Amino acid sequence: MAAELSTGALVMQAIKRHNVPISMLVIEAQSQFYKKATGHINFECRSGQQVIEAVNRSVKENSPQVIDIPVSAYNSEGIKVSEFSFKWSIKPKL
């Protein structure tokens, strides 16, 4: 589940900026596969800023936030082999 890890790492990085305990949980996952993934696969997620904003909003408002984070996977030839979407729930533990 490298695709999930690519989104979870963004969430963890955004959480690390705060001195508040925050829980994170995948509440939904979707995927589409276009081609067999063989060899080296790169996972690309460009939602870092949206994740930071959701975590900041969660801490500021002391409320849960849900963010949908898309990921695309490419083979070594640059061909998209799959797409994923992970919906994360982010909640301060105050």
User: What pLDDT does 1 receive?
Assistant: 77
Rounded average pLDDT over 6-14? 96
User: What pLDDT does 57 receive?
Assistant: 97
Model pLDDT for residues 18-73, shown as the tens digit of each residue: 999 999 999 999 999 999 999 999 999 999 999 999 999 999 999 999 999 999 99
Asked if the model's pLDDT at residue 85 lies above 90, the reply is yes
User: What is the pTM for the complete model shown?
Assistant: 0.91
Model pLDDT for residues 64-82, shown as the tens digit of each residue: 999 999 999 999 999 999 9
Q: Which domains does the chain have, with CATH numbers?
A: 2-92 (3.10.129.10)
- Exposed, middle or buried: residue 84 (CB in 10 Å: 0-12, 13-18, 19+)? buried
